[in-house]
Amino acid sequence: MRIAMIGTGYVGLVSGACIADFGHRVTCVDKDSAKICSLKSGEIPIYEPGLKDLVQANVHQGRLHFTTALSEALGGADAVFIAVGTPSRRGDGHADLSYVYEATREIAAALSDSAVVITKSTVPVGTGDEVERIIREMRPHGDVSVVSNPEFLREGAAIHDFKHPDRIVIGADDERGKKIVTEIYRPLYLNQAPILYTSRRTAELIKYASNAFLATKITFMNEIADLCEKVGADVQEVSRGIGLDNRIGPKFLHAGPGFGGSCFPKDVRALIKTAQDYDVPLRIVEATESVNETRKRAMARKVSAAFAGVLRGETVAVLGLTFKPNTDDMREAPAIPLITALQDMGARVRVYDPMGMEQAKQVLTDVTYCQGPYDCVEEADAAVIVTEWEQFRALELERLRDLMACPVIVDLRNIYSPEAMKKQGFAYACIGRAPTFQPVNLYVPDHSASSRRANVVASSDTAGGRS
Ligand SMILES: NC(=O)c1ccc[n+]([C@@H]2O[C@H](COP(=O)([O-])OP(=O)(O)OC[C@H]3O[C@@H](n4cnc5c(N)ncnc54)[C@H](O)[C@@H]3O)[C@@H](O)[C@H]2O)c1
């Protein structure tokens, strides 16, 4: 089949490359000529494991093409995917559908009379109806079919997720649309991927309900983690204890600094707005959103707690900036509000991320960008682990401790054990497990490294049984 993919971002590029890999002929379109230019020259504009090889292989075999000219992609296409962005609309939190509708108008102007238009972008219930209305208005004699096919891939594991989906949702209100989309996914269907056929509106809602549920699961565990700290329980054991229950499941139960990224925050906001418009407020989702927003900035207090609440003049090293490992995506990353809060408290901030530095430079100013984790912690008064990149999981702790002005680590991903950190002479705080130190003891006004180090050891000793 011949397929056009409108929008060549994280979803459009991964989907386009995977669909080409199934054997279809795919042309990816984007308005961003720099992006298309780099793709044509063999460069991949985003970091996603395995994507470069997949794109190159399919380009080489003549199944994957890139262009800025929509008409070039649409000529003879059997199906057109819309995979443009749907960010939060400035001011009110609704999904901004201007890119979707603009793409729709462009498609309608160049479409063959019987193509199927498939919305892969995450869009609120009823958007497919509007896409269909726009196309029918512009092509009153055309035979248009508009299908919803939401995408569930995760950045960092996008190719695997696309090729081994838990389910493929096809929301079609007519047989022709259903048949064409089924044909596109036939190789996955043969591999036993479950296909769920629904109405278009149901498919649109499945995507939002799915993201809101996962966001709620994370937020629930984050609040349980806060309770663990107060009552002396260990959130990792609580999480394991509840996750072994098949009705709950072990995934999305890791406590952390709050969810971020290009999807959950904006999708949760958009679902809340849709529900309010229909006068069915979703109270649980509203609570999830507000708890999560407060949490990201509040993580700065975990750092200031080690200095009796006073961070002015301290240097804080931030390890990890992207919203999760294996991506360079900085959209709504928890590191952003955390760093802003640290700066508001008067701290100087040094940062390092294995892949996200270029994207970070567009949003984070007034920070020192470092070459690696050890460079980053040099002379720092505290280090905060924000993203659980593999390379942060086995840091040389002695080297780290010797480089730091004051050996304080705040681990927002619980990747180290409090006992091991205490043994290495660190004052260590994490999420949902008691810190190894009595925070107030760490504040030493004279800023002398030796007296601070002595204080870390002393405060860790007095914390004794709490770790
Ligand atoms: N990123 C994810 O992990 C993920 C996962 C599932 C679903 N989604 C959804 O998929 C959609 C796309 O997300 P993304 O992260 O790929 O966005 P993105 O911002 O990375 O990419 C969107 C691309 O569309 C291009 N574009 C916009 N209007 C265009 C037009 N008229 N013609 C051609 N190109 C146009 C932009 O230049 C951009 O390159 C969103 O609705 C998102 O919610 C994203």
Average pLDDT over residues 196-224: 98
Tens digits of residue pLDDT in 36-45 = 999 999 999 9
Assign 449 a pLDDT band (cuts: 50, 70, 90): low
Tens digits of residue pLDDT in 324-336 = 999 999 999 999 9
Q: Is 122 in the pocket of ligand 1 (CB under 6 A)?
A: yes
**What distance in Å separates the CA atoms of residue 437 and residue 439, rounded to the nearest whole number?**
6
Q: Give residue 183 CA to ligand 1 midpoint distance, Å.
A: 23
Q: Give residue 168 CA to ligand 1 midpoint distance, Å.
A: 19
Average of per-residue pLDDT values in the chain: 94
pLDDT beyond 90 at 112: no
pLDDT beyond 50 at 199: yes
Residue 414's contacts (CB-CB under 8 Å, 6 or more residues apart) are 235, 236, 254, 255, 256, 430, 431, 432, 433
Enumerate the β-bridge partners of residue 146: 117
**What distance in Å separates the CA atoms of residue 244 and residue 406, rounded to the nearest whole number?**
39
The structure tokens 């007095």 sit at: 462
Using most ligand atoms within 8 A of CB, pick from 51, 70, 84 the residue to mutate for ligand 1.
84
Please give the C-alpha separations between residue 145 and each of 3, 135, 174, 309, in angstroms, as whole numbers.
15, 10, 7, 59
Tell me whether residue 464 is exposed, middle or buried, using C-beta atoms within 10 angstroms of its C-beta: 0 to 12, 13 to 18, 19 or more.
Answer: exposed
pLDDT beyond 90 at 189: no
Tens digits of residue pLDDT in 396-405 = 999 999 999 9
Taking the CA of residue 266 as reference, the ligand 1 atom at the shortest distance is 43
Q: Give residue 269 CA to ligand 1 midpoint distance, Å.
A: 18
Q: How long a stretch of residues is the chain? A: 467
Its pTM stands at: 0.94
pLDDT beyond 60 at 445: no
Q: Which of 18, 28, 228, 263 is catalytic?
A: 263
Assign 198 a pLDDT band (cuts: 50, 70, 90): very high
Tens digits of residue pLDDT in 119-145 = 999 999 999 999 999 999 999 988 899
**What distance in Å separates the CA atoms of residue 326 and residue 330, rounded to the nearest whole number?**
12
Lookup: tokens for 298: 């509040």
- As a whole-number percent, the residues of the chain with pLDDT over 90 amount to 88
Taking the CA of residue 267 as reference, the ligand 1 atom at the shortest distance is 43
H or E segment and range at residue 265: helix 264-277
Amino acid letter for position 160: H
Using most ligand atoms within 8 A of CB, pick from 167, 262, 329 the residue to mutate for ligand 1.
262
Tens digits of residue pLDDT in 52-97 = 999 999 999 999 999 999 999 998 999 999 999 999 999 999 999 9
Q: Is 11 in the pocket of ligand 1 (CB under 6 A)?
A: yes
Amino acid letter for position 184: I
pLDDT beyond 60 at 50: yes
Taking the CA of residue 68 as reference, the ligand 1 atom at the shortest distance is 33
- pLDDT for 465: 39
CA-nearest residue, atom 26 of ligand 1: 7
- pLDDT for 434: 85
Residue 263 annotated in active site: yes
- As a whole-number percent, the residues of the chain with pLDDT over 70 amount to 94
Q: Give residue 177 CA to ligand 1 midpoint distance, Å.
A: 22
- Of the candidate ranges 142-146, 322-326, 433-437, the one whose mean pLDDT is the lowest: 433-437
Q: Give residue 450 CA to ligand 1 midpoint distance, Å.
A: 51
The structure tokens 């089949």 sit at: 1
Residue 135's contacts (CB-CB under 8 Å, 6 or more residues apart) are 104, 107, 108, 111, 117, 142, 144, 146
